[in-house]
Amino acid sequence: MNKEKILAVFGTRPEAIKLFPVFREIENYAKEARLKVCLTAQHREMLKPFLKSFRIRSDYDLDIMRKDQSPSQVASSVFAGLEPVLKKEKPDLVMIQGDTTTAAAAAICAFYNKIKVAHVEAGLRTFDKWRPFPEEINRVIAGSVADMHFAPTLKARKNLVRAGVGKSRIYLTGNPVIDALRLIPDETRNASLRGMVERAHQTGRKIILVTAHRRENFGKPLENICRALRSVEKEFRSRVCIIFPVHLNPHVREVVYPLLSGTEAISLLPPLDYFSLVYVMRRAHLVLTDSGGIQEEAPSFGKPVLVLREVTERPEAVEAGTVRLVGTDREQIVRETTRLLLDRRAYEKMARAVNPYGDGHAAERIVSVLLGKPWTPFRARY
């Protein structure tokens, strides 16, 4: 029996988190599939701890990370580095995930080499090419090239059909990020963080987890977010503990640190490893974020999410009531955060532990499809 040769290509932590359950499932079929891993290292520093924790070893490392590189520089480096790997390995298919520039470039490179492409987390759209940037167009590119589309939700599936993808090539699987959450231990090795969380709970302070790093929020929008956080901190200083892991990107750090350093109730931290991020998320009262992944993860823990973006390619949780778009207007952010801190009924309405993105079995479905085995689609509500 010839083994299915699969080459997985990824470069950021979110990609690794969502592909990891698929890798584990492929290991159960060692006689039928051979997996090779190509790391582009688009975001090496945030990716490295996760790879180490789950013992994910790359067969190839393109080492493309450069300081403050642009999307076009990332794409050109992926093109240059990946093609020799494809020529050497001659995989049956290339597997990509999500909306990174790595994913889009890898899809095009595979297409140029006449290799099938499997797209995990396919079909997410805002239909606004500038928001999120460059992720929206990266997804469109990947969707145009992919041969197998693993859609996490009904909306994602409908978006693909709308784009002209044949229904027979779309597989409703759920999102493997929910699988990953089931594999993540509820712990952190960060003693300082653990102490911070425990002190907050002992003193009755509500933890607010904040993350912000999207390119479209660089500059004035991020300044507005920081000023909103200062206003919340001033009003609720004795009642909240705001934990803000600051992204390594200098466009983020050069805004956040001058505006938020020295405040009593705001803790600016280095980027957290994934275990620690999930540890805080589980214990937070609410989450403010522009992250796509956290919009999927926090509802699993019944945590209300205020999304610091004008549009989202993940509208399912908005419809489910666990996520609300608040944009980057300072007054709007302060108003919605205050409401969730003071209005118990409003908080409980959003805190329903409803997650429309998966049931923890997406990886099983994805691998079954890849290997031509029987499978049952995800019973999605949205």
Give pLDDT tens digits for 246-274: 998 899 999 999 999 999 999 999 999 99
Do 12 and 59 belong to one domain?
A: yes
Q: How far apart are CA 348 and CA 44, in angstroms?
A: 38
Q: Is position 271 within any domain?
A: yes
Query: Which pTM value belongs to this model?
Result: 0.91
Q: What is the pLDDT of residue 184?
A: 87
Q: Is position 204 within any domain?
A: yes
Give pLDDT tens digits for 206-261: 999 999 999 899 999 999 999 999 999 999 999 999 999 999 889 999 999 999 99
Report, as residue numbers or ranges, the catalytic residues. 99, 121, 135, 213, 215, 247
Do 198 and 333 belong to one domain?
A: yes
Do 345 and 304 belong to one domain?
A: yes
Do 342 and 365 belong to one domain?
A: no
Q: Is the confidence at residue 15, as pLDDT, over 80?
A: yes
| Residue in the structure block whose two tokens are 């790359």 | 58
Q: How far is CA 101 from CA 58, 106, 117, 282, in A?
A: 19, 8, 15, 30
Q: Is position 379 within any domain?
A: no
Do 304 and 363 belong to one domain?
A: no
User: Which structure tokens are listed for 204?
Assistant: 């009755």
Give pLDDT tens digits for 359-381: 999 999 999 999 999 999 999 88
Q: How far is CA 71 from CA 77, 103, 301, in A?
A: 10, 12, 33
* Of residues 256 and 45, more confidently modeled: 256
Q: What is the pLDDT of residue 223?
A: 98
Q: Is the confidence at residue 105, as pLDDT, over 70?
A: yes
Q: Is position 83 within any domain?
A: yes
Q: Is position 183 within any domain?
A: no
Q: How far is CA 303 from CA 247, 262, 348, in A?
A: 22, 27, 9
Do 205 and 343 belong to one domain?
A: yes
Q: Is the confidence at residue 336, as pLDDT, over 70?
A: yes
Do 111 and 223 belong to one domain?
A: no
Q: What is the pLDDT of residue 377?
A: 97
Q: Is position 9 within any domain?
A: yes
Exposure pattern of 132-171 as b/e (b: 16+ CB <10 Å)? bebbbbbbbbbbebbebbbbbbbbbbebbeeeebeeeebb
Q: What is the pLDDT of residue 248?
A: 86
115 Cβ contact partners less than 8 Å away, ≥ 6 residues apart: 86, 91, 92, 93, 94
Q: Is the confidence at residue 42, as pLDDT, over 80?
A: no
Over residues 12-38, mean pLDDT: 95
Over residues 28-40, mean pLDDT: 95
| CATH number for the domain harbouring residue 55 | 3.40.50.2000
Give pLDDT tens digits for 274-328: 999 999 999 999 999 999 899 999 998 999 999 999 999 999 999 999 999 999 9
Q: Is position 152 within any domain?
A: yes
Q: Is position 186 within any domain?
A: no
Q: What is the pLDDT of residue 382?
A: 85
* Domain residue limits at 144: 4-175+358-370
Do 243 and 325 belong to one domain?
A: yes
Do 78 and 24 belong to one domain?
A: yes
Confidence label for 66 from pLDDT (cuts 50, 70 and 90): confident
Do 362 and 346 belong to one domain?
A: no
CA-wise closest residue to 249 among 222, 220, 284, 276: 222
φ and ψ at 286, to 5 degrees?
-155, 170
Between the CA atoms of 104, 138, 325 and 227, what dihedral angle is there, to the nearest 10 degrees? 90
Confidence label for 91 from pLDDT (cuts 50, 70 and 90): very high
Give pLDDT tens digits for 171-197: 999 999 999 998 888 889 899 999 999
Q: Between vectors from CA 326 to CA 324 and to CA 328, what angle results, nearest 5°? A: 150
Give pLDDT tens digits for 136-149: 999 999 999 999 99
Q: Is the confidence at residue 1, as pLDDT, over 70?
A: no
Do 171 and 255 belong to one domain?
A: no
Over residues 337-346, mean pLDDT: 96
Query: Does residue 311 come out as left (phi exceeding 0), alpha (psi in the -120 to 50 range) or beta?
Result: beta
Q: How far is CA 15 from CA 171, 261, 285, in A?
A: 19, 31, 27
Q: Is the confidence at residue 12, as pLDDT, over 80?
A: yes
Lowest mean per-residue pLDDT among 96-100, 272-276, 336-340: 272-276
Confidence label for 353 from pLDDT (cuts 50, 70 and 90): low
Please give the tally of structural domains in the chain: 2
Average pLDDT, the chain: 94
Do 73 and 212 belong to one domain?
A: no
User: Which regions of the chain does DSSP assign to beta strands (E)?
Assistant: 4-10, 33-39, 60-61, 93-97, 116-120, 148-151, 170-172, 206-211, 240-245, 266-269, 286-289, 305-307, 323-325
Q: Is the confidence at residue 41, as pLDDT, over 90?
A: no
